Amino acid sequence: MISDIYSIEMSIDDYERNEDFYLETRGVSEQEYNERLTNLYVEHEILERELLLLDTRQQVIPLDWSGFFLYGTPILIIAYLVVRIRQDKDSKVKYS
C-alpha cells in the first residue's frame, strides 16, 4: 500500500525517469514501450480514484446549523403556538 501511495505521489513524467521503468522497457519496441506507459497512466488514475474514494469515506460530515435555523426555527414556533392554543382552549372557564 505504501508503494501505491508513493507511486501516486510521483508525477507521470517521473515514471519515464524512474530507473525501474527504464530497466523494464530497455530494449523493447516503441509500441510496447507506449503500451507499458499507457498502462502506468491507467494504474495511476485507478489508484488516484481509489485513494480519493477512501479519503471521502473517512471525511466527517460537519453539522450544518444553517439548516437547523432555517427549518427548525419555524417548526418550533408553530409547535409552540399549537401547544399554547390547546392550553388556552383547555383552561377557559365555562359559564353555564
Range of the domain at 23: 2-91
The confidence score (pLDDT) of residue 39 equals: 82
Angle at 46 between CA 44 and CA 49, to 5 degrees: 110
Residue 96 lies inside a defined structural domain of this protein: no
> Under DSSP, is residue 28 helix (H, G, I), strand (E, B) or coil?
coil
Number of domains making up the chain:
1
Predicted TM-score (pTM) of this structure: 0.37
The C-alpha cell at 18 is: 524512474
pLDDT band at residue 2 under the 50/70/90 scheme: very low
Is 81 among the domain residues? yes
Q: State pLDDT tens for residues 36-67.
A: 778 878 887 888 888 777 766 666 556 666 66
The residue to which cell 453539522 is assigned: 63
What is the length of the chain? 96
